Structure 1
Amino acid sequence: MKSRVLPVTAHNLPSEHPRLSMRLALWLLESPRLGHSASIKRLAGRLLKQPARQGVVVAQSRLGQLLCRDCGNARDRRIGLELLRQAARSGDARAQLELGRLYSQPRQREPQQARHWLELAAAQGSHEAARLLGRLPKSA
């Protein structure tokens, strides 16, 4: 009898392997072919949820980015923003850069917050953060 291989989903991945699920999610998101698909982003979001809840900074950062960039509802964006804040406070330059971007957008428009997070990201070597800092008004 042939053994049947089940497709990997967030539901059949063992919950005791959060690091494996996180690594799979990051791989999916960084894949040039797969990373832009809405269904892959949903799967990656589900895979990142448990590690993010457990305080894994990289998972908080990537899930926060997903929720802020790719979700249409305000509740998910609020959760994403909070996850980004947690990761940024823990020193994640990617989260700091993303917060700086978000706070400098017209919808959020908090230039002092944008400057704060972009300065932290730039101090860690982010060229993008340094570029965005140059675009902020001097009074911010």
Structure 2
Amino acid sequence: MKFRSSPDSVTSQPPRVTAPKRFSVRVAEWLLDSPRLGDSQNAKHLAGRLLKQPAREGVVVAQSRLGQLMCRECGNARDRRIGQDLLRQAARAGDRRAQQELGLIED
């Protein structure tokens, strides 16, 4: 028995959509920028967790916001160093917020 092969357009998977990555960054930004939620430690913790993976994947906005969060909110030197590294990466990519934050830290 011979099976018909389906055309490549049917069997091939569509290109991977980056919507979840963008969504998590937008939710994290909303949490951090919200006047009522932005001061909550739980909201900051959740925002940090949402920003972590996109920052690792090179999303400049996520690197910048996570770097700022780590430099301002973390109590230990290791986390502040990681935050500064993220800010440097974002600043090299042209992010103005990261460049300003680095200027404040290094002065």
TM-score higher than 0.5: yes
Q: Can you list the C-alpha shifts for 1:75-119, whole angstroms capped at 9, x where unaligned?
A: 110100000000000000000000000011xxxxxxxxxxxxxxx
**Whole-angstrom CA distance in 2 between matches of 1:57 and 1:36:** 23
Q: Does 1 or 2 have the higher relative contact order (CA < 8 Å, sep 6+)?
A: 2
Structure 2 residue aligned with 1:27, among 26, 30, 36? 30
Supply the RMSD in Å over aligned alpha carbons. 0.9
Aligned 1:50-129 pairs, distance under 5 A:
50-104=53-107
Q: TM (normalized to structure 2)?
A: 0.81
Unpaired runs of 5+ in structure 1? 1-15, 105-140
Return the offset for 1:65: 0.1
Pair member with larger Rg: 2
Return the offset for 1:18: 1.4
Unpaired runs of 5+ in structure 2? 1-18
> Which consecutive segments of 4 or more residues in structure 1 shift more than 2 A?
none
Amino acid at match of 1:81: Q
Q: Which has the higher helix share?
A: 2
Amino acid at match of 1:62: R
Aligned residues: 89
